[in-house]
Structure 1
Amino acid sequence: MVSYLQIENLTKSFGDRILFENISLGIGEGDRVGLIAKNGAGKTTLLNILADKEDYDSGRITYRNGLRVGYLEQSPSYPPELSVIEACFQSDNDTVRLIAEYEQALRANDPDRLQDLLDRMEHAKAWDYEQRAKQILSQLKINNFDQPVKELSGGQLKRLALANVLITEPDLLILDEPTNHLDIDMTEWLEEFLRRSNITLLMVTHDRYFLDRVCNQIVEIDDRTLYSYKGNYSYYLEKREERIEIHNAEIDRARNLMRTELEWIRRQPQARGTKAKYRIDAFAELQEKARREKAAGQVRLEVKSSYIGSKIFEAKGITKSFGDLKIIENFDYTFTRYEKMGIVGNNGTGKSTFIKMLIGEVKPDRGHFDIGETVKFGYYSQEGMQFNDQMKVIDAVRDIAEEISLGDGRKLSASQFLQHFLFTPETQHNYIYKLSGGERRRLYLCTVLISNPNFLVLDEPTNDLDIVTLNVLEDYLRNFKGCVIVISHDRYFMDKVVDHLLVFRGNGVIKDFPGNYTDYREWREAQEQKERNEQAEKSRQEIKKSSTEKRNPAENGKRRLSFKERKEMEQLETEIAALEEEKKTIETLLCSGSLDVAELTEKSKRLPEVNDLLDEKTLRWLELSEIEG
């Protein structure tokens, strides 16, 4: 395997805080590496170091000579005066530089240089660059190519930057949270795009289905150390659990040994001379080891929410539009006690508007929500994260509540609650301005939850949260004694948390589906397959009708099939039956989710070929049968 990137003994710290120490990693051609770590552990910092945007303390980074690297930053930016399509030609990549060289040579009328550049342009497929850019932008729901960059939202900017790195087809693609700001359809398109390509990949993402289906290697930064697992996310979970069990067993042994040593230290003060110094040193090491927390020691947090009555809310005739954009039309719904609802749909279909109407921030054009008297909302919004950066983490939570009730007279202090959501006692006394983006979102989540609501309304709570935090949040929501509505593009999260879905399809159409996202996806694929089958049958009937209309009535019944034609008809019947069986098998396999990328590509190409052959042979069989009839 060709080595693309070697990281050797890399160390990075900020002041006295060490992010990672002496970590090493090799990435070869064809590797698809997912990078996992807690918020604040240095994931983005590591990617910025690899992209030469940040310094490091020590170690060595070696790229293969001539390697083309594409990097998607977490927060990209472009000159505001550019249009969308112009921004695609501002990227610092080989193809754009080649196009610029060509235009410069054209202006200078340098025929010798032009010929060389023409050859290089052909090799790099530079002539198709703009067309490729527009195709990928369209897949990412950016269709106004002349729109000024300054008018784009943060999410649109991220999608523009994603399109830019995909267009150039680099040898090594480095992605920082590529699925943030993508709706589910776009995420699944990107997932399939990367699975089908030959690109080598290093990425940070919290989308666990994405990790499972795209990556063939997972690396984790934990306690300043890097661990590598040769497999997808499912394999990583299995092997990480084994590692934690071994780690915890070592801690237990260290604690037992420490008790023995402590007894010796206390019993033998007179023996602490040079002769016994090795035991005193060993005791110090054991003490440090025994103090470490068990990595899998998360305690299930079953918070008693405030009382909620049987009446939650009723939506009656809710209608909302923005100009010609129809969001909701005559929507009725009765929400039941302890219901956990997921809301999915493409960006711009009205998901956030719906919940803002529910909590009273936006008024519907017609209709109203009838909300129960006992309902107490806890609202986590995309825009709601506002803190005084000079405040300490613990004080931001204590300003809302000093403690939270667990029921049966048991309570959890604000500090204990923060610890459950992975804020160490040390971090709790940090100023908020020191927190990473993911840590700030985690703190915001804690401020919402500690207010002890009985109805949680969460708008994109998974963005920028690490996988460990997501596991804690999922466990919290599954055991939450109240109601939940959650908007999320995280399919894995939705599958673990919600009972059923509202699917916003656009133009005011909302589908109420009983089940989680995977249930809905399977149902939708079955419906689409049914529609394709019906369309194919309709096409065959039209072919049959066309054939009947075209034949000469005067010849009908006046001639018999020749020996050769009869043999052809028999052969056609055998071939049609075989093709029907092949079609059925391919459709079953395509819906099974069990195919790898190569098989999926092969079967997807074969299905239309089979349909064309069926149509062709069926038409010929019909022609022969009309003669026979």
Structure 2
Amino acid sequence: MVSYLQVDGLRKSFGDLLLFDELSFGIAEGERIGLIAKNGSGKTTLLNIIAGKEDYEAGSVVFRRDLKVGYLEQDPKYPAALSVLDACFHSDNEIVQLISEYESIINSSDHSKLEEVLGRMDYFKAWDYEQKAKQILSQLKINNFTQKIEHLSGGQLKRVALANVLIAEPDLLILDEPTNHLDLEMTEWLEDYLKRTNVSLLMVTHDRYFLDRVCNEIVEIDNRRLYNYKGNYSYYLEKRQERVDAQNAAIDRANNLLRTELDWIRRQPQARGTKAKYRIDAFHELEEKARQEKSLGNVKLEIKSSYIGSKIFEAKHLSKKFGELKILEDFNYVFARYEKMGIVGNNGTGKSTFIKMLMGLVSPDEGEIEIGETVRFGYYSQDGLQFDEQMRVIDAVRNIAEEISLGDGKKLSASQFLQHFLFTPETQYNYIYKLSGGEKRRLYLCTVLISNPNFLVLDEPTNDLDIVTLNVLEEYLRTFKGCVIVVSHDRYFMDKVVDHLLVFKGNAELKDFPGSYTDYREWKDFQEQKERSELNAQIKKSNANEKILYKRNDAQDTGKRKLTFKERKEFEELEKQIPMLEEEKSCLETEMSSGVLPTDELIEKSNRIAVLIDLIDEKTMRWLELSEMQ
């Protein structure tokens, strides 16, 4: 197996925070590796180091020579003034550099390297780069190639960056949270695309279905140590649990032995201490082992929500549109007590707008929402919360509540609550500016939940959260004694948490589906297959009817109009003209691909090709029209 990348003895720290030390692993041809770790463990930092965007203190990162590497950053950025198509040329990939080199030579007086560059252009198929860019952008539902980057949504920007990476057809693809900001349709498109290609992968994602279906190896960083699992996400879960059980059993045994050793060492007279030095040394080793953090199994957090009455909210004749874009039209809905609704749909169909109307942040054009008196919202916004970066983690939570009720008179302090969401006592006293992006999102989640709401409204809560935190949140929501509305593109999360879906199809068309997202996807696939079968049957029936009708007309219609002399001459002339135009178009395309034409001639010939295409289309349509009267 050909080695693509080898990382050996890597060390990286930020001040007194050590992210990893002596970290070593490799990626070979055909391997598709999913990287899993808690927020703050350095996943993005590691990818940035491998991609050459960040330095490190020790170790080595070695790629195979001539390896083409593509890197999708978690939050891609482009100059605001660029168009969508220009952004695809704003890259340091080999083909874009080659095109730039070619243009530089063409515009200079020195053409000595032109032949060598032309050979490389042919080898890398650089002439087709723009066409490939447009094709992939179209597949990703980006069709306005002249639109400015500054006017794109977060999801559109992520798709442009994704297209930029995929166009170059790299040997090794490094993806940092590729599904963040992508809607479900685009996530499934990317999943299918990666499954069809032979590209090798190193990927960080919280999308567990994506991991399970795309990856063939999982690498986990836990307590600065690296663990490899040769299999998909399901296999990883099984083997990781075995490792955790064995590790926890070892720590329990060490604790039991430690108690015995502690009793023995306290009873020894000082004069005999040197005679049992080996046992004292063993005692200290046991003490170190016993201090190891015991791995978290299934964290359960059962919190009593505040009382909620039978009336939750009722939407009456809601309508909302922005210009020509309709979000809701005469929408009515009565939300039930303890209901857990998932909201799904493509970007731009109005999911977040609907949530903001419910929260009173956006007013409907028509209709009203009546909310029950006992409803106490906890709102997790997609935009996040702006923290005072100089505040400590514990203080950000205490400012909202000092404790949270568990019911039966039991309470959790703010510190204990934070521990359930994986903030260690040490981390709780860190300043917020020291937290990673994922840790800040997790802290924001804690500030929402500790207010003890009875109706949770969560808009994209899974973005930037690690898988361990997602498991904690899922368990919390499954046992939550209140109402929940979740907007999410995370299919796994939705399957575990909600009991039905409100599907936004666009143009104010909504569907209430009773079941999980997987149930809905299977139903949708079945409906589409059924529609295709019915359409094919109709086409076959229509074709059969047309054949019968044609035979009847052919037998009965003796007065069918024939070509006039002038039309026959036109028909014969078209048969000569069309091949000549096709040949001229082909010659022009060959000349343009030669790479020796100056810029003004390239433009002139490009304009002529456009004219030829229109002429060929026009004359071909006329030829078909006349041929039917032959």
Q: TM-score range by the shorter chain?
A: 0.7 to 0.9
Q: Greater shift after overlay, 522-531 or 117-126?
A: 117-126
Give 2:292's aligned residue: 292
Aligned-partner Cα distance in 1 for 2:119–2:34: 37
Amino acid at match of 1:514: P
| Contact residue 298 and residue 420 of structure 1 kept, 8 A | no
Q: Deviations over 1:72-97 (max 9, x none)?
A: 11222222222221121120011001
CA gap of 1:20–1:271, structure 2 versus 1, over 3 A, is farther
Aligned-partner Cα distance in 2 for 1:68–1:527: 41
Q: Aligned-pair distance for 1:112? A: 5.4
Q: Deviations over 1:298-329 (max 9, x none)?
A: 44111000000111111111110011110011
CA gap of 1:95–1:272, structure 2 versus 1, over 3 A, is farther
2:409 equivalent to 1:409: yes
Q: Aligned-pair distance for 1:527? A: 0.2
Q: Aligned-pair distance for 1:289? A: 1.6
Q: Aligned-pair distance for 1:546? A: 1.4
Amino acid at match of 1:139: Q
Q: Aligned-pair distance for 1:140? A: 2.7
Q: Aligned-pair distance for 1:552? A: 5.1
Give 2:331's aligned residue: 331
Q: Aligned-pair distance for 1:416? A: 0.4
* TM-align CA RMSD: 1.5
Amino acid at match of 1:470: L
Aligned-partner Cα distance in 2 for 1:422–1:402: 18
Amino acid at match of 2:470: L
Give 1:506's aligned residue: 506
How many equivalent residue pairs?
Answer: 556
CA gap of 1:109–1:405, structure 2 versus 1, over 3 A, is same
Aligned-partner Cα distance in 1 for 2:139–2:439: 31
CA gap of 1:271–1:344, structure 2 versus 1, over 3 A, is farther
Aligned-partner Cα distance in 2 for 1:554–1:228: 73
Q: Deviations over 1:212-246 (max 9, x none)?
A: 00001100000000101111100110110111111
Q: Greater shift after overlay, 90-99 or 132-141?
A: 132-141
Amino acid at match of 1:315: A
Q: Deviations over 1:555-601 (max 9, x none)?
A: 89xxxxxxxxxxxxxxxxxxxxxxxxxxxxxxxxxxxxxxxxxxxxx
Give 2:169's aligned residue: 169
CA gap of 1:364–1:274, structure 2 versus 1, over 3 A, is same
Trace 1:147-546 onto structure 2 (pairs within 5 A): 147-270=147-270, 273-546=273-546
Aligned-partner Cα distance in 1 for 2:80–2:269: 72
Q: Aligned-pair distance for 1:294? A: 2.2
2:40 equivalent to 1:40: yes
| Contact residue 299 and residue 472 of structure 2 kept, 8 A | no
DSSP 3-state at the match of 2:4: strand
| Contact residue 33 and residue 217 of structure 1 kept, 8 A | yes
Q: Deviations over 1:479-512 (max 9, x none)?
A: 0000000000000000000000000000000110
Aligned-partner Cα distance in 2 for 1:272–1:456: 64
Aligned-partner Cα distance in 2 for 1:453–1:146: 46
Q: Aligned-pair distance for 1:42? A: 0.6
Aligned-partner Cα distance in 2 for 1:405–1:141: 47
| Contact residue 327 and residue 506 of structure 1 kept, 8 A | yes
Amino acid at match of 2:49: I
| Contact residue 384 and residue 441 of structure 2 kept, 8 A | no
Q: Deviations over 1:252-297 (max 9, x none)?
A: 1101110110111111142663332222222222122212332134
Aligned-partner Cα distance in 2 for 1:270–1:372: 73
Q: Greater shift after overlay, 239-248 or 145-154?
A: 145-154
Give 2:115's aligned residue: 115
CA gap of 1:454–1:552, structure 2 versus 1, over 3 A, is closer
Aligned-partner Cα distance in 1 for 2:262–2:135: 69
DSSP 3-state at the match of 1:273: helix
| Contact residue 380 and residue 457 of structure 1 kept, 8 A | yes
Q: Aligned-pair distance for 1:554? A: 9.7
Q: Aligned-pair distance for 1:151? A: 2.7
Aligned-partner Cα distance in 2 for 1:53–1:554: 73
Amino acid at match of 1:479: T
Give 2:56's aligned residue: 56
Q: Aligned-pair distance for 1:553? A: 8.1
Q: Deviations over 1:326-370 (max 9, x none)?
A: 001111111111110000001110000101111111111111111
Q: Greater shift after overlay, 142-151 or 403-412?
A: 142-151
Amino acid at match of 1:385: L
Aligned-partner Cα distance in 2 for 1:393–1:540: 67
| Contact residue 155 and residue 347 of structure 2 kept, 8 A | no
Q: Aligned-pair distance for 1:17? A: 1.8
Q: Aligned-pair distance for 1:455? A: 0.2
| Contact residue 69 and residue 171 of structure 1 kept, 8 A | yes
DSSP 3-state at the match of 2:362: coil
Q: Deviations over 1:3-58 (max 9, x none)?
A: 00011121212222211121211100111110000000010010011011111121
| Contact residue 340 and residue 484 of structure 1 kept, 8 A | yes
Q: Aligned-pair distance for 1:412? A: 0.7
Q: Deviations over 1:447-487 (max 9, x none)?
A: 00000000000000000000000000000000000000000
Identity of aligned residues (%): 73
DSSP 3-state at the match of 1:251: helix
Amino acid at match of 2:88: C
Q: Greater shift after overlay, 457-466 or 279-288?
A: 279-288
2:90 equivalent to 1:90: yes
Amino acid at match of 1:232: N
Q: Aligned-pair distance for 1:113? A: 3.0
Amino acid at match of 1:550: Y
Give 2:551's aligned residue: 551
Aligned-partner Cα distance in 2 for 1:550–1:345: 46
Aligned-partner Cα distance in 1 for 2:62–2:121: 28
DSSP 3-state at the match of 2:12: strand
DSSP 3-state at the match of 2:520: helix
Aligned-partner Cα distance in 2 for 1:102–1:193: 31
| Contact residue 349 and residue 507 of structure 1 kept, 8 A | yes
Trace 1:597-612 onto structure 2 (pairs within 5 A): none
CA gap of 1:153–1:299, structure 2 versus 1, over 3 A, is closer
Aligned-partner Cα distance in 1 for 2:230–2:554: 72
Q: Greater shift after overlay, 155-164 or 218-227?
A: 155-164
Amino acid at match of 1:30: G
Amino acid at match of 1:284: H
Amino acid at match of 2:523: W
Amino acid at match of 1:218: I
Aligned-partner Cα distance in 2 for 1:518–1:226: 33
DSSP 3-state at the match of 1:246: helix
Give 1:566's aligned residue: none
TM-score (norm 2): 0.86
Aligned-partner Cα distance in 2 for 1:155–1:542: 42
| Contact residue 338 and residue 482 of structure 1 kept, 8 A | yes
Amino acid at match of 1:175: L
DSSP 3-state at the match of 1:108: coil
| Contact residue 321 and residue 365 of structure 1 kept, 8 A | yes
Aligned-partner Cα distance in 1 for 2:403–2:484: 22
Q: Greater shift after overlay, 139-148 or 305-314?
A: 139-148
Amino acid at match of 1:25: F
Aligned-partner Cα distance in 2 for 1:443–1:270: 50
Q: Aligned-pair distance for 1:107? A: 2.1
Give 2:67's aligned residue: 67
Give 2:27's aligned residue: 27
TM-score (norm 1): 0.86
Aligned-partner Cα distance in 2 for 1:470–1:234: 16
DSSP 3-state at the match of 1:551: helix
Aligned-partner Cα distance in 2 for 1:555–1:449: 80
Amino acid at match of 2:126: A
2:4 equivalent to 1:4: yes
Give 2:77's aligned residue: 77
DSSP 3-state at the match of 2:538: helix
